[in-house]
Structures are given as C-alpha cells and as structure tokens.
Structure 1
Amino acid sequence: MMRISSVTMFEQGMSSMNRQQSEFMQVGQQIASGRKVVNPSDDPQAASRAVGVSQSLAVTEQYADARVSARNSLSQEESVLDSVSDAISSAKTLIVQAGNDTLSDADRESVSSELKGIYETLIGQANSTDGNGRYLFGGYQESDPPYVSSDGEVRYVGDDQVKEQQIDASRKMPSGDSGDAVFNSVPNGAGYVARADDGNIGDVTFKGPNRVDATADGYGEAYDVEFYEDGGEMRVEVLDEAGDPMELNETGDTSLAYSSLENGDVPLSFAGLEMTFKGDAPGDGDSFHVAPAEEGNTNLFRSMEDAIAALENENQTPADDAALRNTLSSVSRELDNSLDNVLTVRASVGARINELDVVDAVGDNRTLSYENNMSELVDLDYAEAISEYSLAQVGLQASQKAFADINSLSLFDQI
C-alpha cells in the first residue's frame, strides 16, 4: 500500500483550491466586464480577430463622420443656391419690366435701383460662409472672400478646385462647388447669345439668335453680323471667325439688302441660326457679335452690371433706345443661362445629398455587421456565465472544505 505524505496532500489540496479560485475569479471578471475575452490569453484567436473588426469599425465611423460634414456643407450650399435662383428670377422680372415702352428715364432709374439691391444680394450670397466662417464658394481658398469688387466690377479670386470628402472606401465626393462653376458658367447646350457693338449708331434692335438646325455646317462657331452702306443701300452680311462672308441664301449671296428682312418679319438665317432685326435706320458699320453662350459673357455679375449701366443712361435718341433694348435682350438671355446653370448645380447638390443617404444606409448595415461580429467574438453570454459562476463557486467551496478536512486528519484521532 502506497503511503501519501502530509506535504503531498497539502500541495495537492492547495493546487486544486488555487485552480478552482482562478476559474471562479475569471468568470467573475467576465461578468463584471461583460466580455468573455477579458485578456488576449483567454482566446488568442478571437482576440486577434476582434482587433481587426475593431479597426474596420473605427474606419467606418470615420467615413460616417465625413458624410456628416459633407452633408452639412452641401445642405448649406443648397440653401444658398435656392436664394440665388430666386434673386436671378427677380432680376429677370425687372429686366422684362424695364423693356416696357411706357417707362420714363425716372422709371428706369427706379428699376435700376431695385436691380442694384439684387446685385448686392447676389454678391453677399456668393460670399456666403458656413457656421465656422469658411467661404462656401472659394474652393480650397476658404479663408478669404471668393468675390471682390474693384473698379465697379466683381471678380472671382477663389480657387477653381473644390474640396472633397472621402465618404467611403472607394468614393470621394465634392463637398461644395467653386464660385466659378456657379456664377461664372453656363450649362451645356446653352445655345447662342448675341451682343450689339458698343459703337453702334443706328436704331436697329435684334431678337434671337434662335437655333433652327444644330447639325448645320458652322453651327457652334462665332459670327459677326455687320451692316454697311453700298451705293445708297444698306446691306447686311455675316462674317465667320476668319472674317470671311457667309453664304446667306441658296443662290450663294454673301450679303442681303436690309430691306429684304422686312423690318423683323423675315429672319436672317445662317449656320443653323435665325435672327430678326427691326429698325428704320441701321448705321453704317453697326455690328452684332453672335457666339455660343460659353464663349461670350458667362459672368452673372457682369450681366447685372451691364443692365444697371444701360438703365442709368439717358434715353434721348433712337440709337440710345436701341442700345438699351439690345443690352436688355442680351442680359435677359444671359440671366436665363445663369439661372439654368444655378439650377443645374443645385440638382447636382441634391443628387450628392441623395447619394450620401444611400451610402449612409450601406454604412449603417456595415457597422451593424461589424458590431455583430465583435459581439460574437468578445461579448459575454450572461446566462451561461452565471451558470459557470455558480458551478465555479460550488467547486471552490468544495475544494476549500476538502482541503480543510484532509489537513485536520491525525492518527491521534484513531486512538
């Protein structure tokens, strides 16, 4: 029969009791922390995977913060663009009103004053800031006003590049638009705009140009419509960009008698365009420049400045009246193009906000997936843990009782 020494029994009892106490404390730590992996040694594989999931979750949260920032910027821009479109519409209404034949110089001066108010409002909107004092339409130059006034003209001094936000792993989104894209541009397909030469001396006014055939030869190029006297007859010709006269009818004529246009009843046709001219006495050398909208004046503020200046001039002669009406006609079309451009940019802003909503939904689902994975890896099942806690407690108490009973045994008890 093998004899077991008292030292061996003591050591075995202590070892069993320490093991039970360690298991009991470990379960207690899990319950207290709510995590089944308190230390990496508890489950090295789960701890390693949890680190990767945690990093992915942190990156996803950073993208979510970027989307919040982008949405705030775009929402502010959309609000400003809404005000800008209202201001341009009001200016267009005043331009139409200013063309009324019954208005006097004083009446036009009053219209000019209203236009000045809208003009100043537009400058203020172009220099709008966000809640942190950063200019919305300055691009990367967000600390200084993008539009400055000098010598009676408003100029853009901001950056053509716009800030972008990394809203997802594979998507960078512009969080704004440059002032150049909003206030100094026209939309694609804006058509043509005509402007009368400042030196015109006749009373001829124009309407158009209107597009008839965008597939015609020469459509998309710039032209000059010029009036000249030949043998006592006033004639009209159209010069291309090289200065060469265009053929204006099927017989190959490069000039027409002004009278053949029948004072606005017969259009002048060239390069897929039509223009009508009215007036009793065109001046020798009078000209009108016709160009695609993107090649002409695209500056909203210059259009407003031209209209204000024209309305403030005294209207004393037929030539003065023609100059006013031609300017208002050009400005009216330029304002239409500017309004279309602002609405196009605003639609782009709305599309980006909608995209943010979609990416937010995807990001929320991704976050939920990461959180579920993290929970499966490290979170504690309380029902199971409490059961283990009770068993560990019973085991510890049993080992303590056994240790005490064994250590109290003595041969003297048997005497």
Structure 2
Amino acid sequence: MRISTVTMFDQSVSAMNRQQGDFMKVGQQIASGRRVVNPSDDPQAASRAVGVSQAKAVTQQFADARVSARNTLSQAESVLNSVSDAITSAKTLLVQASSDTLNDADRQSVASELRGIYETLIGQANATDGNGRYLFGGYQDSSAPFVRNGTGVTYVGDDNARAQRIDASREMPVSDNGARIFNSVASGAGYLTEAGKLDANGVIAGGNGGSVTFSGPQVLDNSDPNHGRAFRVDFTSDTVTHTYTVKMQDDSGAWVDTVPALNDEAYDPAGQTIEVGGLRLELQGTPEDGDGVRFATADEMNHDLFKSLEKALNVLENPAATPAEKAELRNTFRTSMNELDNSLDNVLTVRASMGARLNELDVVDAVSGNRMTNYEQTLSDLVDLDYSEAIAEYSLRQVGLQAAQKAFVDVKGLSLFNYL
C-alpha cells in the first residue's frame, strides 16, 4: 500500500496533539489540585459533587443563623441577669423599709432608691439588640414593648417569641416576649394575699379603712378539695362587734359559701386564725365595715412586676401616721415582697430556659461541624487530586509527548533521495 508524505505528516501531527492534550490536562489538574476540572472528566463524580456542595452551603447558612441566634440569646440572658439583680435589690429595700424604726423621711429616701430601680427595670424591659430591634417585644420588635401611660407601664408587644431556624429540623425561639418575663409567674407559685375594700367581684377597689393586717396564708393540706381556689374575707363591723364571712370562688367565677360555711363569724381584733381550703390565714387589727382580704394562687393575683413596684412606691412616698395607713404600709410590703419573689422566680426560669437554648446551640454546632467534615471528605474523595498518581501520570505524558515529537522528526527526515 502506498503511503503519501501528507498522510505521514497528518498522523504524526495528530499523535503529537493528542499527547500534548493529555499532558496539558494532567498539568491543569496539578495546578488546580482537582481531579475533576470539567464535568466531562467524570460526569458521575461531578454530578454528586454539585449535590454535596449545595448541602454544604445550606449547612453553612444554618451555622450563620446560629451565630445570630447565639448573639440575641446572649444579649437577652445578660439583660435578665441585670433584671434579677434589680429585683433582688428592690426586695432588700422593702425589707429595710419594713422596719418600725424608720420614719416618713427615711421611707422617702428608700423610695428614691426604689424609684431608680423601677426606672432601670423599664429601660431593661425595652432593651435592644445590636441591630436596634427590641428584645422583648415578640415579633413587634420595631417599637418599645413597654410604654408609660396614666396608670403605669403597659405591655404593647405581642405574645409571640421570635424564632429562628438553626437547623433543617429545628426552629428555636431566640428571645421571649415581655409579657412572659415581666407580667407572669412561674408555674407552681403559691398563694398571694391582698387587703383592701372588695367590690362585688372580689377585686380590691381601695385600701382598708381599718387597721387589719395579715400573715400568710400557710399551706396546711394541699390535698384539700378546695385547695387552689380563690377566697375572700368580708368584714362587717360596728363600734362594738366585728364579724367576718369567708367566700370561695367556684369554677364559674361566682363567690359561694365555703364548706363548712363561715358566715358572720365573730372576729377577734387581737388575733384571728382562719383555716379554709387547706390554708391558714392569720389576721390582726380592727376592721371597718366593708374591709376585706383576698387570697388566691399567684396566677390569679397581680403578677405584673411594674405594678408590684408601683404599689410599694405609692405607700413609701406617702406618710403613714394613722393606724389604717400603717396597716396598709405593712400589708402592701408583704404583698409586694411576695410578688417580687414570684417575679424573680419567673425571671430566673426564663433565664434558665435561655441558658438551655445556648447549650443546645453548642450541641447543634458540634453536630453541624461533624457534618461539614463529612461533606468536605466526600467532596475531596469525588473531585480532589491524588498528587502522587498525578505526578506519575504527568511524567508519563511528558515522555509520550517527547516520543511523539521524536518520532515525527525521524519520520520527517525519511526520503528516497537519501539512498540514491
């Protein structure tokens, strides 16, 4: 068969181009550190690598979300730490003000300090994060959740807790609304007692006109069938005799007789003990007609932290000269201190919940870190280059290219004229 010179040149050039292409491909792999530079290098590996890269990017987005969640929770937890310290300081001041050795001027001084704590708590309730969003307003985080009005401080946020997705299967509340923190009591809070004029619905409508003070109630038997209900003590009084009637609130909210009934019982101003619903309430002092005492579980009584402080400030900033005013002072202190105890317990409960969520973020971070390591290893197995194998291949392709070039030179030099 006759082979033309052109055919030999074409075949030699094609061989050199093929060897040069293989050589450059290996060189590109070494330069990039990747075995799969183009999808055509390994379509199956390239397709799997795209899926792994997307999963890795999603995992990184959740990691960024956890950073934001941790920052918000840390700021909120720090604020609650300050709130718990402020409540503790307020209670210390009330204990100090309860001393009979203090006069009106001394109580005015205590009131000034307590007023400062009150203002501090309002500021902490309206704390913001680093982005200017209010921490405790729920989803209404663009305006202050607690505002002043003619009756005190009112919560105007919503009852939701801002949540953030920190992983594919976990959406975490990153803050708690102000109503849960400042206007609630922890589950299991005990009874509270309040003295004053009671209206038909058993609501305190004013201060006592007499000098009745209370202590308790103490729990005697929490298995009593009426334990957990609200009770009220209504006084009927004239200049000589004093009687009391005890009512309890049924499931419909109506005030009914206790079992056994305590109606128009004789009252001893020197000291009267009332046992009802597995509770013991101790009373002392002379009542006026229409005075009363109400005691119920904490979630049925006042559980607004700001109102508790406002009641204490009101009696501290006003003189207590008459027996009725002194009785109101003592009763208000007892009620306010119990309410502050419940508020402190509630704040500590919410703070513990935030701490648990911060710990959960650490756990999710650890799991996510292991997942990212697995993704990176899988991605490396799919597309990364084995340098030892690549260098050996590079040397082999280099030799092949040099051989093709040498063969072309030798073939090009062949001519019949050399033998004539």
Q: Normalized against structure 1, the TM-score is what?
A: 0.95
In the alignment, is residue 387 of structure 1 matched against residue 392 of structure 2? Answer: yes
User: After superposition, what is the alpha-carbon deviation per residue over 1:141-176, rounded to whole angstroms, capped at 9, x for unaligned?
Assistant: 111111111115111111211211111111000011
Task: State the SS of the aligned residue for 1:244.
Answer: strand
> Any conservation in 2 of the 1:205–1:277 contact (CA below 8 Å)?
yes
Kept in 2, the 8 Å contact 1:138–1:145? The answer is yes
SS in 2 for 1:189: coil
- Mark the CA change 1:305 to 1:84 in structure 2 (over 3 Å): closer, same or farther: same
**Does 1:314 pair with 2:312?**
no
Distance 1:231 1:149 in 2: 43
Q: Please state whether the residue corresponding to 1:246 is helix, strand or coil.
A: strand
Secondary structure of the residue aligned to 1:29 is: helix
Q: Name the counterpart of 1:247.
A: 259
More displaced stretch, 398-407 vs 356-365: 398-407
**2:154 matched to 1:146?**
no
Offset from partner CA, 1:184-211 (integer Å, 9 cap, x none): 1100011111111124111110111222
State the one-letter code of the partner of 1:361.
A
CA distance in 1, matches of 2:278, 2:65: 49
Amino acid corresponding to residue 29 of structure 1 in structure 2: Q
| Structure 2 residues without counterparts, runs of 5 or longer | 197-205
Q: Residue 351 of structure 1 aligns to which amino acid in structure 2?
A: A
- Residue 222 of structure 1 is matched in structure 2 by 230
CA contact (8 A) 2:234 2:292 kept: yes
SS of residue paired to 1:283: coil
Tell which deviates more after alignment, 361-370 or 235-244. Answer: 235-244
Cα distance, 1:255 vs structure 2? 4.7
Matches within 5 A, 1:168-179: 168-179=167-178
Q: Indicate which of 345, 353, 358 corresponds to 1:353.
A: 358
Alignment of 1:335 with 2:340, yes or no, is: yes
Identity %: 61
TM-score, structure 2 length as denominator?
A: 0.94
CA distance in 1, matches of 2:241, 2:259: 19
CA contact (8 A) 1:247 1:255 kept: no
Q: Which has the higher strand share?
A: 2
AA at the equivalent of 2:287:
P
Aligned to 1:36: 35
CA–CA distance in structure 2, aligned partners of residues 372 and 348 of structure 1: 36
Please identify, of 85-94 and 405-414, the stretch whose mean Cα deviation from structure 2 is larger: 405-414
Structure 1, 112-121 or 156-165: larger mean CA deviation: 156-165
**Structure 1 residues 172-191: aligned runs within 5 Å:** 172-191=171-190
Measure, in 1, the Cα distance between the counterparts of 2:116 and 2:138. 26
Q: Deviation of residue 22 (structure 1)?
A: 0.8
Query: 1:399 deviation in Å?
Result: 0.5
**Aligned-partner SS, 1:73:** helix
What residue in structure 2 maps to residue 268 of structure 1? 274
Segments of 5+ residues of structure 1 without an aligned counterpart are: none
**Aligned equivalent of 1:287, options 292, 315, 335:** 292
Query: 2:375 aligned with 1:367, yes or no?
Result: no
Q: Which amino acid aligns with 1:208?
A: G
Distance, in Å, in 2 between the alignment partners of 1:196 and 1:63 is 54
Give the number of equivalent residue pairs.
407
Q: What code does the residue aligned with 1:193 have?
A: L
Give, as a single letter, the amino acid of the residue that structure 1 aligns with 2:224: A
1:207 to 206, 211, 215: 215
> What is the match of residue 93 of structure 2?
94
Residue 73 of structure 1 deviates from its aligned partner by 0.4
C-alpha distance in 1, partners of 2:283/2:419? 136
